[in-house]
Chain A
Amino acid sequence: MNRVVITGIGVVSPIGCTVDRFWSALVEARSGIGPISVAPTDRLTARIAAQVLDFDPSQHFDPKRANLLDRFSQFAVVAARAAVRDAQLEITEELAIEAATIVGNAAGGQNSVDESYFKLYGQNSPRVHPLTIPRWMVNAAVSQVSMDLGLKGPTYTIASACASGTHAIGQAFHMVRSGQARIALAGGTEACLTVGTIKCWEALRVLSSDTCRPFSKTRSGLVLGEGAAMLVLEARDQALSRGAPVYAEVLGFGMSADAVDITAIDPDGAARAMRAALADAKANPEDVDYVNAHGTGTDLNDRIETTALRKAFGPSADRLAVSSSKAVLGHSLGAAGALELAATALAIRQQTIPPTANFEETDPDCNLDFVPNVARDAPIRNAMSSSFAFGGLNAVLVLGRA
């Protein structure tokens, strides 16, 4: 069994497309939530989202290639390139055939779907763009990453809604640990801020109209986001022997299904995934200092997640620092778990706990230390990152110091 470390991180996020910008906004509680501008708003009730605004495809792709990639694939490729650069990794042919690529995604190429369906139903056009399917398919992003970097090992997409990114990194971790892959590029991507998709989220009536305030008594719902994070995972021995920079060690991965409700989170299922991750990491609850929570900012999620943390951690819950990055990043669905794991790895490396931004008032039902608004320098031995998806699918990772 290999020990597995994170040696590279690449992000495309509402708070910046470099790791430095991403981390400084998280620590300074600077939210990426703002007025919607990536989609026309005349048919929308929602007014806000966490959008990636400083992303210019022409900076990254020639026009012919950009034409083949939906925005969610562009994000994944740019994040993956950045992760490989960050890891100072040279992908030789020998390494490429043993490299796994696993990308989490919830919604596929929604910009391409929206454009084609608008032509079809909105404009009564007899035809749609011929590349609609290769842009739209949910595996387009992972395939584009594999082609762009020449990675030829096990390659697939994981779709588990809001847990996709965490499931993807967990799978990659298990592959590198078992030796099935020598190296893995794993993460998540999402770009579904289209009129159609936002309208469907509005219909579910869970969107906040002002901002995202996880765990605060004044929370008012979730705010949609977009972005991508890709990470390089490799065997610790290999990373050390090539002198690679190491952010953190991946210690454990736990999964569960609630088998209860298609939207509501269940405390037992969530707690089981957390306990499974601790067991896989051979860690006890008291060994964990920080949890980067799912914390969507809906009344139900944050209340039940608090209950689940208490179930999983027992008396140790009272000495945990818990924060949600969604006040800053919004909820980028299939990318969320990957962006949040990137935040968790950076927290470990910097020994700094990023705060829960937009926090206003303590809720008696959410009675843990949520590190409100101000970052905290504190020793972090081990940290956990949790994702609890619609459909009751839960994925939890545990990281340790490198």
Chain B
Amino acid sequence: MRNDLDIIDDVRAIISKSLKIPIERLTPDARLDELGAESLDVIEIVFDLEEKFNITIPFKADEGSRASKAADGNGEMQFSTVGDIADMVKKLVEAKPSR
């Protein structure tokens, strides 16, 4: 069973690798756009997260920092900061049916 800290560490590692930014700079309130992420970087990060956690993230490049309707239908998820992304991944991992 993964705990939250593992998820956050994995999320930070993926963003760090994609943006070539040291993990230490990826604080929860760090914004992707301020870290220099362009739209193609963001869709690659989304892809890496989906692969890593075996989840589907309802993100559309067109909608910038917003993801589309969440898998559980509870409104839109934010995709602006490192913390937002970790929260989203956590929710989606928890929503997965357990085997």
Contact = CB atoms under 8 A, between A and B. Distances in A.
A264 interface: yes
Nearest to B50: A203
Contacts of B40: 262-263
Interface stretch (B8-16, B26-34, B59-67): B59-67
Contact of A264 (B39, B43, B47, B60): B39
A221 B60 contact: yes
Nearest to B69: A209
Nearest to B46: A205
Contacts of A264: 39
A300 interface: yes
B99 to A, nearest CB: 22
Contacts of A263: 39-40
A206 B62 contact: yes
Chain A interface mostly? loop
A299 B60 CA distance: 11
Contacts of A300: 62
A230 B47 CA distance: 39
Contacts of B39: 263-264
Interface in B22-54: 39-40, 43, 46-47
A351 interface: no
Interface in A160-177: none
B62 A203 contact: no
A206 B47 contact: no
Q: Kindly name the residue among B39, B46, B47, B64 whose own CB sees the greatest number of chain A CB atoms within 10 A.
A: B39
Interface string A248-272: 0000000000000011100000000
Contacts of A262: 40
A350 B61 CA distance: 39
A174 to B, nearest CB: 34
Interface string A272-301: 000000000000000000000000001110
A203 B63 contact: no
Interface in A291-333: 298-300
B77 to A, nearest CB: 14
B96 to A, nearest CB: 17
B60 to A, nearest CB: 5
A204 interface: yes
Contacts of B64: 299
A220 interface: yes
B58 to A, nearest CB: 9
Q: Kindly name the residue among B40, B60, B64, B68 whose own CB sees the greatest number of chain A CB atoms within 10 A.
A: B60
Nearest to B64: A299
Nearest to A262: B40
A262 B46 CA distance: 19
Interface string B71-98: 0000000000000000000000000000
A361 B71 CA distance: 28
B61 A204 contact: yes
Nearest to A205: B61
A94 B68 CA distance: 60
A220 B47 CA distance: 20
B60 A203 contact: no
10 contacts: A203-B43, A204-B61, A205-B43, A205-B62, A220-B60, A221-B60, A262-B40, A263-B39, A264-B39, A300-B62
* Nearest 10 Cβ contacts at the A-B interface: A205-B61, A299-B62, A205-B60, A221-B62, A298-B62, A205-B43, A206-B61, A206-B62, A205-B59, A221-B60
